[in-house]
Structure 1
Amino acid sequence: MGGLEHEGAVGYGRPPVSSRFVKGRSGNPAGRPPRSREQKPPYESVLGQTFTIRDDGVERQVTAIELLLLKLAKRGLEGDTGVSRTLLGLIKQVREEQQASEPLTIILVSVEPGSVAGALERLRMATKLDPYRETARMAIEPWVVEAALERLPAPLAPYQQRIVVDATRMPKKVRWPQWWSEPP
């Protein structure tokens, strides 16, 4: 700006020559401090925290991982198909790991006649087509159909496929297997 400028000038953007970086010498000669082996990654400290939730009027402690899975399950049951597919993939992965390490245990539970429809509605596995009739027809949710098809040991016959399509609430949302021949 019209003034004289010399090499030793000090000011904004021009630190004293003695404190400037020297070529070939590190700006951090001590280097990064070593990481402690006991130090947990940040996600472990977050996911290990406990929270208090109220389940049917009873308070209980859950970890952040359990809380996250409960929230995802709730969204899946509310009809979020993306979350449902993700959860089904996780469940499948966990089951495969468990089957490799543990023997299979079968638990029989008996229910009263007529209580199955109410249980299916409560679990959001099926929807009553006429909510005002006690004996109304039920329609199976798409995510349940997908999960059941993954577990089949052999493909269904075409007449069986038609029954499944007719019993599904939103058949166009189901990812049908490649062998499926009956269109929704």
Structure 2
Amino acid sequence: MTRKAGGRPPKHTQFKKGQSGNPKGRPKKSTEERDRSAFDILVDKTLTITKNGMTQEVSVEEALEHKTYQAAIAGNRAARREVLRMISKREQALAKRAKPRARPIELKGEMDPDNANEALLLLGIAVKDPQDFGPNDTYDRLKLEPWAVQAALSRRRGGAKLTAKEVSEIKRCTREPEHLKWPRGTEE
């Protein structure tokens, strides 16, 4: 097909006045496509993240829930409320699906709700320290998870720089201190 000077296509290939180039019109969207919001489309996507050195695929919804959980642990009140709503919603869903039990659940061992160590272990903020401190050591020693320490470090705004003693204490109490990113001006 050759074009005339001026950039117009030959007359025989042009549509006649009043005639559409697409006689059937624009295809209609399915009802499923029309009813989906931009948020629905976004939540259906997956992200590739690196967690503890391993890459994995997670949905945007999972990533948002994880971020909300981290914000709640870091002290964000709105995030705490949201996590409590998520827990409540999950408990209700589990209760609906659960079959009635013939006998009540018995807890083996005593749990002390006032024990901070048990709370840290339960929330995944800390793990038991595998190091053996000898037969005379009666304490349950814990190491903090790097993400929890990182959250605490990132909440430091302004203020004095960390001292060498503070840095060594943080490293001593953290499970994998080499993964921490230190605030500016901190000398390791």
TM-score of the pair, normalised by structure 1? 0.45
Give the alignment's TM-score, normalised by structure 2: 0.44
